[in-house]
Amino acid sequence: MTRLQEPPVLPPLKEVEGRSLGDSVYEALRTAILDGTLPQGTRIVEESIARQMAVSRAPLRQALWLLKRDGLIVDESARTTRVVTLDAEAIRELHLTRTLLETSACQRAAQRISSDEIDRIEQILADMQQAADAEDRAAVARLDYEFHRTLCQASGMPRLVDIWEQQHVLFRLWLNMVGETLVEGVDHIAASHRAIFDAVLDGDPDRIYEHVLEHVYLVGGALRTERRRWAMEQPRVTAPSPHLPAPTTATENREKS
């Protein structure tokens, strides 16, 4: 990959009422990285970015610290910082981590999801299908995030949600790299979400694992051969031992309420 010595042109910052300048710079740069305006490997030159965005160094440095926390920029040396580059091994790790996190979250959510959360996810799925029918990829992407985040929150494990949020930022970067390979699969993506949620409602941990695995690894055409191999090597998130008391399912909880 050719690494640029200067970042591409960035528009002047538009401040948002109620948000600090540092947060506004962070959101603008985060968006620029995720949508490819600042490509992977781009060198971060503070003076150039501050000039283009018409901000001082203090809020810019605050924003850069937050981007490092997200893993979106990395220090190459004491003097050089670049937008992260996702190589094949990093992409594999993101797939593995996401599968472990989301399978665990969904298996836990199957035991405790509330009626309100079920209704919320049903609405998200309905909106996603409508967006897929209209081939509105931006809306599908937004609803994809809402679906997975809501399911993770339904697990009742806030620390897992925090880890998932951090990993999801990098996974979005990967998805934006290969967005063109998902064009013909927008409707399939909506169906894949429905399959995951149906498995959660049925309380079947093995089905949850299988559908999460398929959703993470097998949607889209980029690195198809590698991703299929990685899926076969994915550590399995197994069901509880049959000798333990069976937990109640979301459907059973809803019937009791």
Express each pLDDT in 66-92 by its tens digit: 999 999 999 988 889 999 999 989 999
CATH class of 88-256: mainly alpha
Tokens of 204: 């079947």
CA distance 130 to 142: 13
Please give the C-alpha separations between residue 228 and each of 138, 157, 182, 225, 234, in angstroms, as whole numbers: 26, 30, 16, 5, 10
Q: What residue ranges of the chain are covered by domains with CATH 1.10.10.10?
A: 21-83
Strands (E), 73-222: 73-75, 81-83
Residue-wise pLDDT tens for the chain (257 aa)? 444 445 466 777 776 666 788 899 999 999 999 888 899 999 999 999 999 988 999 999 999 999 999 999 999 888 899 999 999 899 999 999 999 999 999 999 999 999 999 999 999 999 999 998 998 888 988 999 999 999 999 999 999 999 999 899 998 888 877 665 554 567 788 899 999 999 999 999 999 999 999 999 876 666 778 888 888 888 888 765 544 455 555 656 556 55
Q: What residue ranges of the chain are covered by domains with CATH 1.20.120.530?
A: 88-256
The yes/no answer on whether domain 21-83 falls in CATH 1.10.10.10 is yes
Bin 36: left if φ > 0, else alpha if -120 < ψ < 50, else beta: left
pLDDT of the residue at 18: 62
pLDDT of the residue at 254: 59
Q: Read off the pTM.
A: 0.80
